[in-house]
Structure 1
Amino acid sequence: MDRELPPEIWMQVHELACTDDGRTGRSLSLVSRRFNEISRPYKYQSLAVVRSKQILALESRLSQLQTEFKQVRFLFVHCPHLFLDVSDDESDDEYQTMEGTDMEEDSTSDGTSYEGEMSIDEEEAMLDEAVDLMKLQEGLPSTASVNLDELSEPSIFHKEMNKGDGVVLRSFRALLAAISPSLKILSVHWSSFEPLLLEELFPVLPVLSELHLRRNFTSDDEVEPETEDFCLPLFPALRRLHISGYLDQRPMHFGACLGVLSPVLTHLRLPGYHLHLRTTTSPLLPSNVMTVIVEQIPFHLVNAGQEGLWQLVFGSDTTSKELYVVPRTPDSPEEWKRLWLERVDGRDGCWLD
């Protein structure tokens, strides 16, 4: 049947089909040699990465591909700390339910690879070597050799945890930089030992139109990241922003930061604990933000009511604005991945349009 239709039709089919966590792109590439060739520009169009090691693996894999074959448009990333991630030999129900985006290369049913490509075993060995090399270059012990009981000195423990964060963070930034010309919808559920500023986590993403970001840190000694630097225009094309977790503390207030960070933003979803009473009557958000979804009004704003909340967010501007109050989005990476998949599929996701 695949011979009866021209390649252009099959390319459109593959483009429309590859809008999940990566399973469809991989499956299509295994149908036949012809489908493998047709699907190559779309195989990585939509991907979900749910482990720290997968970030390293994906960045390594895409670095070997020509530009036309690494057009990632939709990406979900869940990053637990490298030392707290589950190894390939361990069984963990949480990861078993989420895993499914393999980073191995295509192979035929007998396990042999297509001409010019590595076998699964060869690529796995290469990825393991790449991870080990990165750790050696940083003086970082392997995850199997880390004994947290031996890291009794807090400074030693902090140093090793930060090294682990650094390995994954550099790979993540390199990955984003490589796919930035095509990346449209990004969801990041990121855990680090110490908090990270936005510019530490992200390079400039020039065409990104939608970002879902949850950041948390595990160190008991840290607070929200503070800097005297102003925001950078990291997301010049961003239209929709869903944030949770901590915020950067900067000299400029939250709304002013948004105006620089994403100057054409129209939709914002945020937890109520990010809203604070202000003495000024000016609106909290830039005038271009038209729709705001607040997750759970915080206690200190309960008495303000809907009108008071409106004044805080929009000021006196009532022109074509929309304000909703909804329950909080669950913190689990599974829920964030589900909402991301809905957006990739063209559905509402966390938005209420």
Structure 2
Amino acid sequence: MAQLSRILPPYATSSHAPFPREIWRAIIDFVFFDDPNGATLRSASEASRALRDLTYAHRHQSVILDGWEKLLSFEAYFCTLPTKQRRLVNLYVHLPEMYLDAYPKGRQATLEDPDNADWDDPSVYVGEDSDGEESEDGDVEFSSISKEEQAELAQEVEDLNEDAQDYSGYHGQDLSQLALDQSVLGRLEYKVFSALRRLLEASATTLSVLTLCWCRSSHIYTEAVIPVLPNLRSLAIHTMYGKYKANSTAPLHRSIATPVLFPSLERLRIHSDVPHMDDDFKVLTAPPLRFISASTSTYLQLVSLPETLEEVQVWAWDVKVDLRMFKSAPQDYDSKHLGKRLHRMKQETLLQKFKAFRTGNEKDAWDQRDASVFLLERFNPGSLTVQGFKRYWLEQLTFEEPE
């Protein structure tokens, strides 16, 4: 606020201020340009009603939502604001795993005494005998079944086949099928992801920098939660997969054409705790993308790379994963020379793949293309954590002049 006091005269908050509102807004734009934590904005808003009115366009330009409770609260508030006040430019969202919040009894049982847990874990099936008692492995007896039981089993098999056909149609491109999940975890994830989508839709025209760190159990595509963001320039996604699954883990397929979610995206940073097995990255790589930062496993699953790409940063998964990816075994190499050999092997593979993507002809000379590959041999593991992605978000902050 001291910075603002040096610029604004004592009568600046009066309706008789000597300058037009447009000039005061220009001054305030300058003051708040370097205010990522919002301290100056809060002080100015509390100083007077006039200053609060002048600074409305700067509110919520940069927002950090750490936890699903804060997301729900902010979304409910933000979506009720007048359109001219919805000027969210930089958004950071962190959604840890929700299983322990969905099943609070599980928190105590699993952390304090897992062997004497007195709660029902919905992910564990406990067999019962005909009297409803839990059966031991040694108590199982085999006997012939009657024709009636055979008919029942045949009907069950038929029902299972029909269910399998239903699961094969699980497209995961929206939240409609997650809405049918009646588990506590499924309902909670549906509520949270729906709120996140509404928040992004409400700020779609102004959002420029987005970082999403989330741990999900639902099997869905990115576009189920993230809508089209026409002005997004920087995107970072840190995906973790929960231990417990809320719905089917059958392979996803898209029933409609893949949408172009980010037509203005220039920078993309991706990290996941498991290799992806679907084509979710189709919605992430398109012109005018210039920069990609991802692991080798993620990078090698990219379906295509745009011609606008200028720089690729690649870091390794653990050594075993990389060696398996390039059809080599750890025991084939002396540990002393493993790092150099692995680095050279990755570099050759990446260059070949890059050439094939860019021109479709590996015979073309590498020096004829614009893109460059940076192998990060000693990439700092801390940058791949949630906190590392948060620091990256702070580095990408942008401030735009309100209309």
Kindly provide the CA deviation profile for residues 159-209 of structure 1, in whole angstroms up to 9, marking residues without a partner as x.
111111111101000000000010001000011123431111211111111
Which residue number in structure 2 is paired with residue 240 of structure 1?
A: 267
SS of residue paired to 1:41: helix
Which of 234, 253, 278 is the aligned partner of 1:227? 253
Q: Is the 8 A contact 2:201 2:227 kept in 1?
A: yes
Q: Aligned pairs, how many?
A: 279
Say yes or no: does 1:272 pair with 2:288: no
Tell me what 1:215 maps to.
239
> For residue 238 of structure 1, what is the amino acid of its counterpart?
L
- Give the whole-Å Cα distance in 1 for the aligned partners of 2:56 and 2:77: 13
Query: Which of these residues, 375, 388, 391, is aligned with residue 325 of structure 1?
Result: 375
The runs of 5 or more residues in structure 1 that have no matched partner are 86-142, 347-353
Q: Hey, what's the Cα distance between the residues in 2 that align with 1:277 and 1:211?
A: 18
Deviation at 1:220, TM superposition (A): 4.9
* AA at the equivalent of 2:56: R
Higher mean alpha-carbon deviation, 307-316 vs 149-158, is at: 149-158
Q: Percent identity?
A: 21
| SS of aligned partner of 1:30 | helix
Is 2:89–2:398's contact at 8 Å kept on the other side of the alignment? Answer: no
Match of 1:151 in 2: 120
SS at match of 2:188: helix
1:1-353 map, 5 Å? 1=5, 2-3=8-9, 6=19, 7-18=24-35, 20-82=36-98, 84=100, 146-148=104-106, 150-154=119-123, 159-220=183-244, 226-229=252-255, 230-245=257-272, 249-250=277-278, 257=282, 262-276=286-300, 285-296=305-316, 298-299=322-323, 300-301=325-326, 302=342, 304-315=345-356, 316=362, 317-318=366-367, 319-326=369-376, 327=379, 329-330=381-382, 331-344=384-397
In structure 2, give the amino acid aligned to 1:324. Answer: F
After TM superposition, give the deviation of residue 82 of structure 1 in Å: 4.2
Cα RMSD (Å) = 3.2
Counterpart position of 1:114: none
Gaps of 5+ in 2: 13-18, 107-117, 126-180, 327-341, 357-361
Letter in 2 for 1:320: D
Q: 1:258 to 1:163 in 2, by over 3 A?
A: closer
1:166 to 1:24, Cα distance in 2 relative to 1, 3 A: farther
Cα distance, 1:209–1:276 mapped onto 2, change above 3 Å: closer
Say if 1:234 and 1:262, in contact at 8 Å, map to a contact too. no
Instruction: Provide TM-score, normalisation by structure 2.
Output: 0.61
Q: In 2 relative to 1, CA 273–292 (structure 1 residues): closer, same or farther, beyond 3 Å?
A: same
Measure, in 1, the Cα distance between the counterparts of 2:306 and 2:26: 44
CA gap of 1:328–1:159, structure 2 versus 1, over 3 A, is: farther
Q: CA deviation at 1:242?
A: 0.7
Moved more, 27-36 or 159-168: 27-36
Alpha-carbon separation, structure 1, partners of 2:249 and 2:215: 14
